[in-house]
Every structure is written in structure tokens, then in C-alpha cells.
Amino acid sequence: MKRFIVLVAMAAALLTACKDPLNTDTLPSYASGEKQGHISYQLLIYSFADSDGDGIGDFNGIRSKLDYLDALGVSAIWLSPAHPADSYHGYDVTDYSALNPKYGTEADFKALLDAAHAKGIKIYMDYVLNHTGKGHPWFAAAKKSESSSYFNWYNISANPAADYAAGKFPTLNGYYPNEWHDITVGDVGYKGRLHFKVDFSGSTKTLTVTESSAPAQSSNTDSSVQMFVWQGYSGKAERMYRSAGEVYEITLDVDSDWGVLIRTSDSTWDNGTKWGAPAGKNVLSFGTPLALSNTDAQDILFGQATRMKYQGAFGSWMPDLNYGSVATAEQSGPFVALAETVDKWIGMGVDGLRLDAVKHIYSNETGTQNPSFLGKWYDRCNASYRKTHSEDFYMVAEVWMGAGQVAPYYKGLPACFEFDFWERLKWVLNQRTGCYFAKDLMGYRRLYAAQRSNAIAATKLTNHDETRAATVLGRDLAKLKQAAAFLMTAEGEPYIYQGEELGYWGKDSDDGGRDELVRTPIVWDRAATSAQKDLGGHIDLTLLTDEISVENQKKDANSLLNTYFHWTQARNRSKALSSGKMSAHAIYNDSNTGLKSIAAWYMTATDGDRALVLHNVGSSAVTLELGGDKLSKQLASLGEVSVSGSTVTLGASSSVVFQQ
């Protein structure tokens, strides 16, 4: 704001004068309605803040840190999936209508919503529409039987290639064998009518099982026959009928979670009376005799189970949902059921959704199906929301592609993440070439606007699936600070990812690291308490230090956190920065490659409020002649900025915003 207004004693200034005006332990605060910057915070429930000391973040923990998020200028929080799930990260949901008990109760969640709303902070839930967890009861029912009403909620087939070719899977565009996973015996057991034939006449005893349409028989009442089919947990041991000599047969309706055994006694297991499959050969093929063993009697499992496969683009633990043809998707079982769960959360006070992996719902990423489907989904949710609200529901989608491929998704949705923002910005900062940035960004926005006039570009640096910004920028604090300044001065609605404001580093699994390493818990204080239990020990301990803690960075005027406080305040308090459209500077633009380190643009709000944004991403100072601009009022600055008459000198990695 006021640093280095007069360029004097620069050498001394370099050593001593980099004090931030926010050198205070008191958090910034906002008056009611003052936060207009549309700044959101992406938060991982499990590793953000733990209120009860069990090492797992929770709703009450988030509620206890709302002052911090408020100070960051945040007006919305995107929560990682809050539903019950089998994994720590929660993207394999097992019940969309409930909350993960690890995170707290519905009352805790409601208390978080109410407390956040009292601070003008909205809450967005993460919704996974592409797939459920393998443990979801819908999938448990679907995989058990083709007659289940849930069977068609997923893509399940005994012959995926042929069924795909026959058009049975409308959400799939391409048959990819590696996306199809076996339904294992343990998954389904068997339900149906089977004929059993036991042959004890030879030295090798055999069991032959065939699928049957003959009438089922009741258990033989002739107690002289000691040969039984045992389905296990139900306790039923059905006595077979002697058909010839030592050959026994029976036709039964089988309903077993695991398979069968053959017994030569219905009262004892002893003396080798239990006959099963030899180890390693326990999956029986219908029609093929299975050699029985009474010394290593493994459960006899039915080949039927392994004939069936299901499709899951993200692996076997996440079966994809099948919404049918997009023309009728809104009538499909999973669409209707999922929408009803959203109604519940809207009723509780949830303000919006972040949609996961939407380009995979219909697996032609660049076709028209996903935008069409998402439009129906948005309209359904918005209609629910509008029953009790006068504004539209918020929804932002993860469409992980370039801007040109993201743009069509705005046909269906108000907001999409802009992955190209970070792709360009990291290049700008690492190549120290800023002159093309504004032109590139404006180009992306024209693509979106062609699809939706009020398209929201959700800008960001990195998320929970990407190598951390700090690692990409070589843990160069000056670059990290400038990344924050770019994010808060560009057109769009920015997201800050948990820990980014603290300079957290780490490589994700795509870069030879681990996903947990980019999901590190927040270290709140010098005692280094943090919610790390769910990360299974996969934590870079060098991150969990006093030095990087919130407590320490609040006190350090030169910390990255204080830089974030500074720039988020500037954005929130400037209409031009918060809601303005970008336009090129007349001199310092993509044509001025002689000063390629300069990124410059105007931000202009609809009411005419206007700001000039200047960034020097170079490693040396640059002096700019700005005779056509007003230089009297700085809204924000970073690094060494000096004004003299109509010139501005920007030191290395320096930024400034002037009110126009």
C-alpha cells in the first residue's frame, strides 16, 4: 500500500524495509457484507482441524477455525466429501444421505453451517456423481443379482465387450477392458436354482453342479442317506437323493453368500465328514466335475460369480454409476436418488456443490453428453434450492482439461475450475515471462462466454490431486507470494487450497510422490498439533514444524500467510478486483516482448470501478512509463515498488495495483 513510495536508499531498504504493514498477531476482520471477492477455500475435513483429539479432522474443528478463514477473506468453503466412505479421502461414498461419523454428527454439521453463515461464509459439499464406493448398498444389491432393482444402476455384464457393442451401456463411449473388474465370489455368493450331483463311486469323489430350470426339491426324508448339500450360515443341510449306487442328486434353490460344502453327516464335522474343494481350486465351473477333498475342504464357490464384471473407470473400489441415455438421465434411478440426497443437504443449509470428475460421467469427455447431463443435474438442484432462496444455487465442476475443452461444460453449469490458470501461471513465474498472461486468460474467458454469458471461471493454483504450488515453484517464497498476488488480481472466482497459504510443499502420486503428501494437515500452533491420523503416516514431517505453523506465520510480517491476508483484503475491498473484467494495457501487453517480464491488465467492474494491475515476474527491477494511468492510490503491493512522477519501478518479483 505504501511501501517504497519514494525510492531512497534502495540498498538499505533491501536489507531492512521489507516489513509488511500486517505485522500483527491480530487477524484481519471484515465488516458485514465487505467480503465481495468471491474467495473460496478448499478444505480437507480429515486433515484441517481436529476438535476432539482423535487425530481426525471434524466439523467442530472447522467451526473452531472460522475466524481464520474469515481473516483469509474467504466467503465459501469447499469441503472434501463429508459422506461415509471406505477410504480416508472420501471419494468412494457409501451413503450420500448421511455424514461420516468420523467427522461428527448432523447436529455438528448444522452447527458448522450456522456458524459459517453468521460470518458470511457459504458451505459447498463435494458430490461424486460418476461412481459410488464399492461398499455402497446400491452396488452390494446390484452385484448380487440381475433381478435386483439396482442392477442397472451400474455397468455389470458377463460379457462386457459384447454387451458394450450391443449398446447396453449408454454412459460408456468405448470398451476398455482394464476398466472392467471381476465380481468375485466373495462379493456375491450365488442365488438361483442349481442341480447337484455327487459321485462317491470311485476313488476320486466328485461334485458336478449345473444351472437348472427343473423344479426345486425339498430335502430327502430318507434318513438312511448320509449325503448333504450345506449352504452354511442358514444351517440348512439338505439331504440328497440316491440316484444309483454311490451317486446322489438334488435340485435346490440356492441363496448363499459364499457357496456350499458337501457333508456326509448333518450332525458332526468330525472324521472327515466335511467335503469341499482342494486349496486353490475352489471356484467351480458349472457342468465340470470338481474333485472333492475331506482333508483340505475349502468352500466350494460358484463360477457364476466370476463370470460377471463391473465397470469402474477409477478402479475396482469405485464402480461407475449408469444414468442410462442422457435423454432420459433425469429419470434414472441413481439421478433421482442422488438428487433427493441433495435436497436433504439444501434443507439443512448447504449453499452449493463441487462436482467431482464430471468428464467421466459419460465417458466421451469432449462430447455433448456430459454438459447436457450436468445441465439437468444443475436445474434439478437449483429448483430445489430456489424453493427457499431468491438467488441461484452454486455449483462448480472439476473438468480437468484445457480451457477450450472445459468451455462446453458451461452450457450445463455456472462454474468450472480453470486448470489452465495454474498451467499458465506456473509457466509465467518459472519462465519469468508475464507479457502473454493477460491475453491468454482473456482468451479463455471468451471461450467460456460464448457458451454462457455469466460463466464463472473458478481460478486456482493447485488442488488435492496436484503437486503443490510450492514444489512447482522451487519453494521460492518470492514466487509463491506473487502467485497469490496473481490469483487475487485476476478475473474469476479464486480458490485457495488448504495449506497453499502457508507454502506447503509436496509431490503427488503423478510426480513420484504420494497423494497424502499434498494433503498434509494444517499445523495450527507451535505445539504442532494437527489432524494427521487418517493419512496413515504418509506425511512429510519436515512440513509439520513450528516454523510453518499458522501461529508462527501470523507473527511473521514477511510470511506467505500475511501476503495472502494482504491480497485477499485488497480483492475483497475493491469492486474492480473482485468482480471486474480483464482488459489489456495499451503499452504493456503481449506485443511488448521487450519487457516480457511484465504482466499488466486492467480490471473494470460493471459500475466503472477500475484498477491497473502490474506484476514484474523478472529477476531484476523494471521501470515502466505509465503516463496514461493514475498512480496516486495503491490498493495492494508486493516487493519493491516505487513511484516517481509518471513512472513506476517494480523490483524483482514485485506487484502493485493502482486505483484508476
Residue 80 Cβ, how far from Mg ion at the closest point, in Å?
Answer: 14
Per-residue CA distances from 554 to 154, 561, 582 (Å): 49, 7, 32
Question: What is the C-alpha to C-alpha distance for residues 23 and 343, in angstroms, rounded to an integer?
Answer: 45
Residue (58 or 491) nearer to Mg ion, CB: 58
Residue 508: active-site member: no
For residue 196, report the phi and psi dihedrals to the nearest 5 degrees: -110, 135
Catalytic residue among 126, 179, 199, 356: 356
Q: Contact with Mg ion (CB under 5 A): which of 52, 340, 423, 510?
A: 52
Closest CB 63 distance from Mg ion, rounded Å = 12
The span of 45-53, 156-164, 195-203, 635-643 binding Mg ion (CB under 5 A) equals 45-53
CA 203 to chain centre: 59
Among positions 48, 50, 199, 576, the unique one binding Mg ion when judged by CB under 5 A: 50
How far apart CA 91 and CA 89 sit, in angstroms, is 6
**Which residues of 1-52 form beta strands (DSSP E)?**
40-43
Residues 315, 321, 325, 329, CA torsion sign: negative
Strands (E), 363-514: 394-397, 415-417, 456-458, 495-497
- Closest CB to Mg ion among residues 59, 200: 59
Q: How far is the CB of 385 from Mg ion (least distance, A)?
A: 30
- In the residue annotation, 356 being an active-site residue is answered as yes
Shortest separation between residue 91's beta carbon and Mg ion, angstroms = 20
Q: Which is nearer to Mg ion, 284 or 539 (CB)?
A: 539
Burial of 95 (0-12, 13-18, 19+ CB in 10 A): middle
**Stretch near Mg ion under the rule CB under 5 A, chosen from 54-62, 194-202, 260-268, 361-369:** 54-62
Q: Is 108 in the site for Mg ion (CB under 5 A)?
A: no
Q: Which helix (H) or strand (E) holds 238?
A: strand 237-239
Mark the segment that binds Mg ion (CB under 5 A) among 44-52, 291-299, 497-505, 583-591: 44-52
Which residues, in sequence order, are CB contacts of 235 under 8 Å at separation 6+?
A: none
- Region 483-502 residues binding Mg ion, contact defined as CB under 5 A: none
Residues 6+ apart with CB under 8 A from 218: none
The alpha-helical segments, DSSP class H, found in 79-127 are 106-118
Q: Three-state SS string across 434-460, please?
A: CCCHHHHHHHHHHHHHCCCCCCEEECE
Strands lying side by side in the sheet with 247-256: 241-244, 247-256, 190-199, 206-211, 290-291
Nearer Cβ to Mg ion, position 50 or 126?
50
The residue type of 416 is C
3-state DSSP helix/strand/coil percent for the chain, to nearest 5?
30, 20, 45
- Between 52 and 607, whose beta carbon lies closer to Mg ion? 52
Site stretch for Mg ion (CB under 5 A), options 55-63, 108-116, 156-164, 292-300 = 55-63
Choice between 54 and 246, CB closer to Mg ion: 54
The two beta strands, 40-43 and 228-230, are unpaired
Comparing CB distances to Mg ion, the nearer of 45 and 198 is 45
When computed from its CA atoms, the radius of gyration of the chain, rounded to whole angstroms, is 31
CA distance 640 to 76: 32
Nearer to Mg ion, 54 or 625 (CB): 54
- From the list 49-57, 154-162, 418-426, 564-572, the region that binds Mg ion by CB under 5 A is 49-57
At a CB cut-off of 8 Å and minimum separation 6, what does 18 contact?
Answer: 558
Q: How far is the CB of 529 from Mg ion (least distance, A)?
A: 11
Q: Which residues contact 252 (CB under 8 A, 6 or more apart)?
A: 193, 194, 196, 216, 217, 229, 238
Do 470 and 460 contact (CB within 8 A), yes or no? no
C-alpha cell at 408: 462446453
Minimum Å distance from CB 50 to Mg ion?
A: 4
Residue 56 interacts with Mg ion (CB under 5 A): yes or no:
yes
Task: Tell whether residue 617 is a contact of Mg ion (CB under 5 A).
Answer: no
Q: Which stretch binds Mg ion (CB under 5 A): 27-35, 56-64, 333-341, 371-379?
A: 56-64
Query: Closest separation between CB of residue 386 and Mg ion, Å?
Result: 35
**Minimum gap (Å) between residue 94 Cβ and Mg ion:** 20
Q: What are phi and psi of 93, to 5 degrees?
A: -65, 140
Q: Are 46 and 82 in contact (CB under 8 A)?
A: no
Catalytic site residue from 249, 351, 398, 629? 398
Shortest distance in whole angstroms from residue 54 CB to Mg ion: 4
Asked whether 589 and 600 are in contact (CB, 8 A), the reply is: yes
Least distance in angstroms from the C-beta of 486 to Mg ion? 35
Q: In whole angstroms, how close is the CB of 102 to Mg ion at the nearest point? A: 7
Q: Return the SS3 of 164.
A: helix
Which CB, 66 or 250, lies closer to Mg ion?
66
Question: Grid coordinates in use for 582?
Answer: 480483464
Exposed, middle or buried, 202 (CB in 10 Å: 0-12/13-18/19+)?
exposed
Residue number of the CB atom closest to Mg ion: 58
With CB under 5 A as the rule, give the number of residues binding Mg ion.
Answer: 5
For residues 48 and 436, which CB has a smaller minimum distance to Mg ion in the complex? 48
Is there a contact between 160 and 175 (Cβ–Cβ < 8 Å)? Answer: yes
User: Is the CB of 56 or the CB of 635 nearer to Mg ion?
Assistant: 56
* Per-residue interface string for the shown chain with Mg ion, residues 57-96, x marking contact by CB under 5 A: -x--------------------------------------
42-50, 86-94, 289-297, 313-321 -> range binding Mg ion (CB under 5 A): 42-50
Secondary element (H or E) of residue 344: helix 333-348
Only one of the segments 51-59, 250-258, 533-541, 609-617 lies at the binding site for Mg ion (rule: CB under 5 A); that segment is 51-59
Answer whether 318's CB lies under 8 Å from 330's CB: no
Give the one residue of 17, 54, 161, 389 binding Mg ion; rule: CB under 5 A.
54
Residues that bind Mg ion (CB under 5 A): 50, 52, 54, 56, 58
* Residues noted as catalytic: 356, 398
